[in-house]
Amino acid sequence: MNFIKKLGNLSSKMKWLMFSNKRDYTNDSQLFKYISDDLNEKIELDTTRLENMVKESLRREFGQSIENSKSYGLLVDAVVHNIKKKQLEEENFNIEEELEK
């Protein structure tokens, strides 16, 4: 309650400054959300493409009947996971090499 009373005693310039800083923060938050949502959509799109490529490869390798197997979804998920894991390991290795230079 005392804090609110003290805010009432602030000059109008100070109030405006506090308001504009809050507004800037809100705009920055919205921009960050917009950028991160766009990035999330790209990641999901890449994952979908990778899953489709894995499914196509499995069909070519094992025939159309592989899709009817009970573990087909698990197999696709496992292959996609392993590909992503290897990619991350390669990126980490490249980053470590650059840091050593």
- Report yes or no: 80 and 43 within 8 Å, Cβ to Cβ: no
- Report yes or no: 35 and 60 within 8 Å, Cβ to Cβ: no
Residue 63, by phi and psi: left (phi above 0), alpha (psi -120 to 50) or beta?
left
Per residue in 7-30, pLDDT tens?
555 566 666 666 666 555 555 566
Residue 45 to residue 31: CA distance in whole angstroms? 21
pLDDT at 76: 95
Per residue in 35-93, pLDDT tens?
677 777 888 888 999 999 999 999 999 999 999 999 999 999 999 999 999 988 888 87
pLDDT at 82: 94
